[in-house]
């Protein structure tokens, strides 16, 4: 069936079954490959995108449920929080293999959009669903604090 999708500031017509997870439309149909497949069961967060600015696991979100909601992916996220998070990630060289980092960054942007000055505990709680097998967590925490400082400055 044909579905209209608002994504990254554009309107796109998609031909897909309504139960198709948003992730696969983003990746296979729209070729926006920054959003990753890691588990398919919303357990690792690699597929995190923004739905109206809030983090959403796209691997379990059916395309038929998107409706009028606006989707943003790592390729186009450009709020002040996004810029601060990406800058902090680069300054601290958080990444290792990098496969989970789009999802980590999308979640971190979501956190800072809600809470400009999170504590370690608040970071741990919010970021708990984003797995990193390289275990870059120590730097993720530091980078979120750094992004918070950048935003404050």
Partner 1 sequence: MNASNTASLSRRGFLKSAALLGGAMVIGFNAGGALAISTGSAPAEAVGFNPFVKIGPDGTVTVVVKHFEMGQGTSTGLTTLVAEEMNVPWEQMAVEFSPSDEKYKNLAFGGQGTGGSTAMANSYLQYRQAGAAARDMLIRAAAAEWKVEAADVTIENGQLVSGDKTASIGAFVEQAGMLEPAAEPVLKDAASFTLIGKDKLPRKDSMAKTTGKAMFAMDVTVPNMVYVTILRSPLFGGTLKSFEVGGAAEVNGFVDARALPDNSGVAVYAESTWAAIKARRSVTADWDNAAADTRGSAEMLSEYTEKLSAAPTYDVTGKGDLTEMEEAAKAASRSVSADFHFPLLAHAPMEPLNCVIEPTAEGGVRVHDGCQFPMITHPTVAAITQLPPEKVEIITYYAGGSFGRRANAQSDYHAQAAMAFVALGGEKAVKLVWTREDDLAGGFYRPMFAQRAHIGIGDDGKVSAWSQHTVAQSIFKGGPMESFVVHDGVDHSSVEGVVDTPYQLPMALGLTDYESPMPVLWWRSVGHSQSGYTMEVLMDMAAEAAGQDPVDFRLAHLDEEDENQARLAGVLKLAAEKAGWDGKQVDGKGRGVAVHKSFDTYVAQVMDVSLDAEGAISIDKVVCAVDCGVAVNPDVIRAQMEGAIGYGLGAVMRNEITLKDGIVEQGNFPDYEPLRISDMPVVDVHIVPSDKAPSGVGEPGLPPAGPALANAIHAATGKRITSLPMTSAGISFA
Minimum distance from CB of 61 to partner 1 (Å)? 13
Site membership for partner 1, residue 31 (CB under 8 A) = yes
Quote helix, strand, coil % in the chain, to nearest 5: 40, 15, 40
Minimum distance from CB of 82 to partner 1 (Å)? 10
Helix (H, G, I), strand (E, B) or coil at 65: helix
Site membership for partner 1, residue 69 (CB under 8 A) = no
Q: What letter does residue 28 receive in the DSSP assignment?
A: I
Minimum distance from CB of 28 to partner 1 (Å)? 4
Minimum distance from CB of 32 to partner 1 (Å)? 8
Return all residues near 36 (Cβ < 8 A) that are at least 6 apart.
Answer: 46, 47, 99, 100, 102, 103
Q: By rule CB under 8 A, what string of x and - marks binding of each residue 133-152 to partner 1? A: xxxxxxxxx-----------
What is the size of the binding site for partner 1 (CB under 8 A)? 56
Q: What letter does residue 134 receive in the DSSP assignment?
A: T
Ramachandran angles phi, psi of 32, nearest 5°: -95, 95
Site membership for partner 1, residue 41 (CB under 8 A) = yes
Neighbours of 133 (CB within 10 A): 11
Task: Give me the residues that bind partner 1 (CB under 8 A), please.
Answer: 16-17, 20-21, 24, 27-29, 31-41, 43-44, 46, 73-75, 86, 89-90, 93-102, 105, 123-125, 127-128, 130-141
């Amino acid at each position: 069936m044909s579905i209209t999708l608002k994504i990254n500031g554009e309107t796109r017509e998609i031909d897909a079954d309504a139960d198709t997870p948003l992730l696969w439309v983003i990746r296979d149909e729209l070729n926006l490959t920054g959003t990753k497949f890691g588990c398919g069961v919303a357990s690792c967060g690699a597929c995190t995108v923004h739905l109206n600015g809030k983090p959403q696991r796209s691997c379990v979100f059916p395309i038929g449920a998107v409706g009028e909601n606006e989707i943003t992916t790592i390729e186009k996220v450009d709020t002040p929080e996004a810029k601060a998070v990406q800058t902090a990630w680069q300054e601290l060289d958080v990444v290792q293999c990098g496969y989970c980092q789009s999802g980590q960054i999308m979640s971190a942007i979501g956190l800072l959009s809600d809470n400009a000055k999170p504590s370690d505990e608040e970071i741990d709680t919010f970021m708990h669903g984003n797995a990193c097998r390289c275990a870059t967590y120590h730097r993720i925490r530091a980078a979120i604090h750094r992004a918070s400082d950048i935003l404050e400055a």
